[in-house]
Amino acid sequence: MLRRLLTQTSSPRRLLSSKTPFFSKPSLSPFSSLPSSPDPPSSASSHVEESGSAAAAGTTISVDRSALFNPPDHSHEPTPDSELVEHLKSVIKFRGGPISVAEYMEEVLTNPRSGYYMNRDVFGAQGDFITSPEVSQMFGEMIGVWTVCLWEQMGKPERVNLIELGPGRGTLMVDLLRGTSKFRNFTESLHIHLVECSPALQKIQHQNLKCTDESSSEKKAVSSLAGTPVHWHATLEEVPSGVPTIIIAHEFYDALPVHQFQKTPRGWCEKMVDVGEDSQFRFVLSPQPTPAALYLVKRCTWATPEEKEKLEHVEISPKSMDLTQEIAKRIGSDGGGALIIDYGKDVIISDSLQAIREHKFVNILDYPGSADLSAYVDFPSIKHSAEEASENVTVHGPMTQSQFLGSLGINFRVDALLQNCDDEQTESLRSGYWRLVGDGEAPFWEGPDEQTPIGMGERYLAMAIVNRNQGTPAPFQ
Ligand code: SAH
């Protein structure tokens, strides 16, 4: 079956490019205002759209955050405040003091009126960054392979909730459905649930999945790609439970808010966002312990003694811990599994939050709402949160994206696709493949002419949380 999935010789759909991070260590002192943004990185690659077998070309440069070493300048030019800036300033004013970095991040990304994700398509050449599903159709296809394998381990249930958290343009799901379309028993079992906060992206997902509405009031439709029912929800809690479940979270955790802490002579202080006398946002340190310190204590209990010794800065994401607990409880009681793929580390994270606008790293505090904010994913914290939440789940990985896709057979898939390609498609498939599995370091990003494929294979990690009854999922055996 696996081989059949991998060797279908359909034409390659498109060609491709991503985002990846880095670390920075601004030096902070208690109560002082802090240097705002760190030294970010960048990358370049190309994306060619194609429908059917006729390729129509367009070029996109995307950002690999690991090689951009020049910190963006913090702009202090007086400009009229945007709606979001006014909102943030009024929250700080009425709160009577600074807000946490996590609250700032959450408002910037998902404020219902003017959050970064809420009103537009942020991906691709006209957007700010590109992700793996947009790099190559093979990414969604390989996730399809993983999903079918898990479904088989689950005993081929007749009904499955396939939940995707933060589907972006819906590209991963489109490629998954197309890649698995010959497995009718599998596709017929699916009820797709997309957890998406952005009305603009929900609309794009609806179009790309070729949906026809069944009931607009209930946000329910049918995708003509596989005759599959599709539902939209703002949160995972809204998705009905009680049915075997497969959850996919690709580049979702990195968008969840993080709190940042700094070790000082008077103990750990939380980094906060305030408004200075010049009316600009600035970082300050909390004068006393904050509520998030409880999560800091919890996270530190999972750190190794060597990690603890070296800690000067710590970044934690209570939202990620809570989400993981919800996932683990669901998988523990309903059966199935979850796959989390993101850029991150298998150690405690120190200071990784960064901002990207139009494929360049920018200051976190400048023009909030106009740039993507994201942080490295703390994989050990996901593992411990899941294990703590349910005895019925096991956690596997993380392993690198390169190992994950390689073990699932991406090499066979690329060979099969290459049999049906013109020169341009061949080039694009090859660069997309290397982009997904390679570990190449990004050269300094020079501009649109530089199209060196940058590897995401080592920086991105994959982790699975599965119900104990399912045994060990592929390819973690
Ligand atoms: N998985 C996609 C998109 C990644 S970008 C891909 O790999 O291409 C993050 C996605 O998560 C976007 O769709 C964004 O709108 C959504 N998102 C971010 N924060 C969210 C939240 N708190 N609740 C629901 N969706 C969220």
Each residue's pLDDT tens digit, 316-372: 999 999 999 999 999 999 999 999 999 999 999 999 999 988 878 899 999 999 999
pLDDT per residue as tens digits for the range 228-273 = 999 999 999 999 999 999 999 999 999 999 999 999 998 999 999 9
Mean pLDDT of 402-410: 96
pLDDT at 57 over 60: no
pLDDT band per the 50, 70, 90 thresholds, residue 454: low
Out of 106-110, 222-226, 386-390, which region has the weakest mean confidence (pLDDT)? 222-226
372 close to ligand 1 (CB < 6 Angstrom)? no
**Looking at residue 125, what is its pLDDT?**
66
Mean pLDDT of 24-36: 35
pLDDT at 396 over 80: yes
Going by C-beta distance under 8 Å and a sequence separation of 6 or more, which residues neighbour residue 465? 324, 327, 328, 331, 337, 338, 340, 382, 386, 393, 394, 395, 396
Mean pLDDT of 45-50: 26
Output the CA 449–ligand 1 centroid distance in Å: 29
pLDDT per residue as tens digits for the range 268-308 = 999 999 999 999 999 999 998 999 999 999 999 999 999 88
Tell me the pairing of strands 267-275 and 259-264.
Answer: antiparallel
Helix and strand numbers (H, E) in the chain are: 15, 21
Residue 103 has phi, psi (to 5 degrees) of -65, -40
Bond preceding residue 35 cis, omega within 30 of 0: no
Mean pLDDT of 52-75: 37
**Looking at residue 318, what is its pLDDT?**
98
Mean pLDDT (the chain) is: 84
pLDDT per residue as tens digits for the range 177-200 = 999 999 999 999 999 999 999 999
Output the CA 176–ligand 1 centroid distance in Å: 18
| Residue-range domains of the chain with CATH | 93-258+293-441+451-467 (3.40.50.12710)
Cα gap 207→202, rounded to integer Å: 9
pLDDT band per the 50, 70, 90 thresholds, residue 431: confident
Check residue 75 and report its DSSP letter. Answer: P
115 close to ligand 1 (CB < 6 Angstrom)? no
Output the CA 196–ligand 1 centroid distance in Å: 6
Q: What percent of the chain has pLDDT over 90?
A: 69
How many CB atoms are located within 10 Å of the residue 319 CB?
Answer: 18
200 close to ligand 1 (CB < 6 Angstrom)? no
110 close to ligand 1 (CB < 6 Angstrom)? yes
How many CB atoms are located within 10 Å of the residue 279 CB?
Answer: 11
Which residue shows structure tokens 């939440």?
389
pLDDT per residue as tens digits for the range 159-175 = 999 999 999 999 999 99
Check residue 129 and report its DSSP letter. Answer: B
Ligand 1 pocket mutation pick from 252, 258, 340, 456 by most atoms within 8 angstroms of CB: 252
Cα gap 305→399, rounded to integer Å: 23
pLDDT at 26 over 80: no
| 384-408 burial code (b ≥16 CB/10 A, e <16) | bbbeebbebbbbbbbbbbbbbbbeb
For 116, 181, 350, the CA distances from 201, given in Å and listed in that order, are 11, 24, 31
Q: Where are the beta strands (DSSP E) in 307-374?
A: 313-316, 336-345, 354-357, 360-362, 372-374
**Looking at residue 218, what is its pLDDT?**
64
Please give the number of the atom of ligand 1 that sits closest to the Cα of 234. Answer: 24
130 close to ligand 1 (CB < 6 Angstrom)? no
By alpha-carbon position, which residue is closest to atom 11 of ligand 1?
Answer: 166
Tell me the residue type at 98.
P
Please give the number of the atom of ligand 1 that sits closest to the Cα of 372. Answer: 5
Residue 139 has phi, psi (to 5 degrees) of -65, -55
Cα gap 276→34, rounded to integer Å: 11
pLDDT at 76 over 80: no
pLDDT at 39 over 90: no
pLDDT at 53 over 80: no
